[in-house]
Amino acid sequence: MLASAWAINGRFLSQRVTGVQRVAHELVAALDRRAAHRSATDPSPVLLLPPTVTPPPLSALPWRHVPGSAHAHVWEQWALPRAARGLRLINLCGAAPAFGAPAQACLLHDAAVFDHPEAYGATFGRWYRWLFRHLARSDARLMTVSGFSRERLAAALGVRPERFAVVPLAGEHIRRVAPDTQALSRLGLVGRSFLLAVGSANPTKRQADLVLAWRALERRDARLVIVGGGDARVFGATALAEAPGVVRAGAVDDPTLRALYDAAVGLVFPSVYEGFGLPPLEAMACGCPVVAARAASLPEVCGDAAMLVPPRDPAALADAMRRLLDDAALRAAMRERGLARAADFSWDASAQALLAALRPDGPGLAQ
């Protein structure tokens, strides 16, 4: 599998699961499945965990706790690189030790801290811009999640696009989750048609456009359910627009999210900046039609399976939402296209692309 011994940065297991943590969880699970079938001479990476973190359910992938600070960032920058001496360190969530790790592979999900600095808190943005530039100057193997992110990161960091190996993601994980049968009742959605939106408070998610479009619809027979939280330390303070019929569910667990995907008329995803964009693929995997902005990586990921609308255009968004609500034949056709598109992606294929990037002759080498 790998020519030399690797370790995986397990800091993500100490964090709330959002997009990048979801990716790390699923890649580690896929690596674990592969490890169960490896040959005796085929080494597997070891998962290095912060001291108080519960290990994930693994059947074959080795893991161990690394003593150190209870503060996850300090642990990552100080204890982790020392524990990884003699190994090569895989970082799956963008963050990585700045110094001390002998060799690293880093999955940088997007260039948003360069392309949209206004969407991030000042401290968070400065740190990540410095770290990404530092990693690009090092001999780290660099990976990202889409062709769009490869081009944007290369431009921001002043390197050739070929410096980045592409590790596509998947949405199949949501199908393994049993839906919460009480979720619709808790949110007052039983017997109601509703559109679903999934995204954080990051301004690039364009929640304001979404609410403006909903207002223009004037649909008292339906609801708009917005799922997602926000961290002011990361994204800064963001005012959230309101309107009649908008249900703000906040951050939800996976069983609730699965129930919402299953019951929604469609997912509306007006984000103008996504390194990959997991929610559209998750929705498609559940048979939920998707409306998305024609922006960033979304056309690359969604193909012809989503209704793509111009970005930052509430009127066009409203028209697409109206069509989804009113046209059952359209929804049925989109459901079939979405299921087929989601089937083109898998976490096992993602893990295979990751392992290819880690080989001595793999993509992602310093150039």
Q: Is the pLDDT of residue 229 over 70?
A: yes
The answer to whether the beta carbons of residues 321 and 270 sit under 8 Å apart is no
Q: Is the pLDDT of residue 329 over 50?
A: yes
3-state class (DSSP) for residue 34: helix
Q: Is the pLDDT of residue 242 over 80?
A: no
- DSSP labels, 170-228: --GGGGGSPP-TTHHHHTT-TT-EEEEEE--S-GGG-HHHHHHHHHHH--TTEEEEEE-
Domain covering 6-170+346-358 in this structure, CATH number: 3.40.50.2000
**18/357 Cα distance (integer angstroms):** 24
Q: How far apart are the first and last CA of the chain?
A: 24
Q: What is the mean pLDDT of residues 201-224?
A: 94
For 50-104, write each residue's pLDDT tens digit.
999 999 999 999 999 999 999 999 999 999 999 999 899 999 999 999 999 889 9
Residue 58 in tokens: 């693994």
Which residues does residue 11 pair with via DSSP β-bridges, in sequence order? none
Tell whether the torsion through CA atoms of 218, 194, 18 and 35 is positive or negative.
negative
Triad 192, 196, 197: Cα angle to 5°? 155
Counting Cβ atoms within 10 Å, is residue 50 exposed (0-12), middle (13-18) or buried (19+)?
buried
For 142-191, write each residue's pLDDT tens digit.
999 999 999 999 999 999 999 999 999 999 999 999 999 999 999 999 99
| 29-33, 212-216, 251-255, 361-365: segment of lowest average pLDDT | 361-365
- DSSP labels, 43-81: --PEEEE-TTPPPP--SS--EEE----SSHHHIIIIIHH
Q: In this structure, how many other beta carbons lie within 10 angstroms of the beta carbon of residue 113?
A: 21
Percent of residues, the chain, with pLDDT higher than 90: 86
Q: Was domain 176-342 assigned CATH 3.40.50.2000?
A: yes
- Distance, C-alpha 312 to centroid of its chain: 22
At 366 the pLDDT is 55
pTM listed for this prediction = 0.92
pLDDT band at 36 (very low <50, low <70, confident <90, very high): confident
- The ranges of the chain annotated as CATH 3.40.50.2000 are 6-170+346-358, 176-342
3-state class (DSSP) for residue 168: coil
At 233 the pLDDT is 45
Arithmetic mean of pLDDT over the chain: 92
At 230 the pLDDT is 54
For 64-79, write each residue's pLDDT tens digit.
999 999 999 999 999 9
Among the residues of 225-313, which ranges form H helices? 232-235, 254-263, 278-285, 298-302
pLDDT band at 44 (very low <50, low <70, confident <90, very high): confident
